């Protein structure tokens, strides 16, 4: 009597994204750029979104020069009409979106984040809007724009980049913490609603990542020394650290993972 053994696909095959179309928001620099490049390296055709046309074009050109397929698309993720137009543009030039990475964040492209913020109780409600618009509403708009097509085709991956501020709370980033936590709750609900249709939805929660947004703070050696005390691994994260988890969640290797939040944080906080 012989017993058949089911052969499992090799890890390289599970991570292969050939034939898939990915849209990465806020991909003109930092984590978004690293994610776009890695997804392209795994075979996906990548729509590189940014508020600034030149940023998106530069990253797309780098992907193309490396042998990948990319398309630069400019849009403000907080503008429903522009988001809808972006999805239509991507479908026309690359195909329908199979993988959405909601990466655009901070206070938006036109509002520089206050690196030394005042206490929440001293803030003006008018100051909250940019944080909520990009980190929560923008996630909803982009997800809404692609989800119907994913459900119809019976497959899709949605990965939203949040922050450890959403998981543990940061006293200097109260509104940001709340907006990112809202995006995480939204992803959990989308996971349950769309899971029966072959769509997964997960979050990547980042600790301190070396990106242009925090580069000014990193010029202060004393500040960096204090900051790193909270990180057992002893260094800040790099965009590539986040991109690796994003690419994994976009792949078939993560086909039975949904509704989860994965901290990528050098041990800053611990998931239970």
Ordered by start, the domain boundaries in the chain are: 17-264
pLDDT at 212: 87
17-264, CATH topology level: Rossmann fold (3.40.50)
Furthest CA-CA distance within the chain: 77
pLDDT at 31: 97
Q: Residue 86 has which token pair?
A: 């972006």
**What is the side-by-side strand order in the sheet with 156-163?**
69-74, 45-50, 21-24, 99-102, 156-163, 199-206, 261-264
- Decide if 180 contacts 165 (C-beta within 8 A): yes
Name which of 96, 43, 52, 88 is nearest 70 in CA terms.
43
Q: Please state the three-class secondary structure of the chain as a single string.
A: CCCCCCCCCCHHHHHCCCCCEEEECCCCCHHHHHHHHHHHHCCCEEEEEECCHHHHHHHHHHHHHCCCEEEEEECCCCCHHHHHHHHHHHHHHCCCCCEEEECCCCCCCCCCCCCCCCCHHHCCHHHCHHHHHHHHHHHHHHHHHHHHHHHHHCCEEEEEEEEHHHHHCCCCCHHHHHHHHHHHHHHHHHHHHHHHHCEEEEEEEECCECCCCCCCHHHCHHHHHHHHCCCCCCCCECHHHHHHHHHHHHCHHHCCCCCCEEEECCCCCCCC
- pLDDT-above-90 percentage for the chain: 85
Sign of the dihedral defined by the CA atoms of residues 112, 118, 120, 124, in that order: negative
Give the pTM. Answer: 0.93
Q: pLDDT (tens digit, 9 = 90+) per residue, 151-194?
A: 999 999 999 999 999 999 999 999 999 999 999 999 999 999 99
> What span, in angstroms and rounded, lies between the C-alpha atoms of 169 and 143?
25
pLDDT at 40: 98
The catalytic residue positions are 176
pLDDT at 228: 93
Which residue numbers in the chain have pLDDT < 50? Answer: none
Query: Residues 6 or more apart from 140 whose CB is under 8 A from it?
Result: 186
pLDDT at 251: 98
């Amino acid at each position: 009597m012989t017993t058949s053994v089911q052969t499992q696909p090799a890890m390289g095959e599970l991570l292969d994204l050939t034939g898939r179309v990915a849209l990465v928001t806020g991909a003109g620099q930092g984590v978004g750029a690293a994610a776009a490049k890695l997804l392209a390296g795994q075979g996906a055709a990548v729509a590189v979104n940014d508020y600034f046309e030149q940023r998106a074009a530069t990253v797309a050109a780098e992907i193309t020069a490396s042998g990948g397929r990319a398309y630069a698309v400019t849009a403000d993720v907080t503008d429903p009409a522009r988001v809808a137009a972006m999805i239509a543009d991507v479908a026309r030039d690359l195909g329908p979106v199979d993988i959405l990475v909601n990466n655009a964040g901070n206070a938006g492209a036109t509002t520089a984040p206050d690196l030394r913020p005042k206490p929440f109780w001293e803030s003006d409600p008018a100051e909250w809007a940019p944080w909520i618009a990009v980190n929560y509403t923008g996630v909803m708009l982009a997800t809404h724009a692609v989800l119907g097509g994913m459900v119809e085709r019976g497959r899709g991956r949605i990965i939203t980049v949040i922050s450890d501020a959403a998981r543990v709370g940061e006293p200097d980033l109260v509104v940001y913490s709340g907006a990112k936590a809202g995006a995480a709750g939204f992803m959990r609900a989308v996971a349950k609603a769309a899971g029966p249709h072959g769509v997964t939805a997960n979050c990547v929660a980042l600790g301190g990542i070396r990106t242009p947004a925090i580069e000014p703070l990193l010029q202060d050696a004393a500040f960096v020394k204090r900051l790193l005390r909270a990180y057992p691994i002893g260094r800040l994260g790099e965009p590539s650290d986040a991109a690796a988890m994003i690419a994994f969640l976009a792949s078939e290797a993560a086909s039975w993972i949904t509704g989860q939040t994965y901290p990528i944080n050098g041990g800053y906080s611990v998931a239970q």
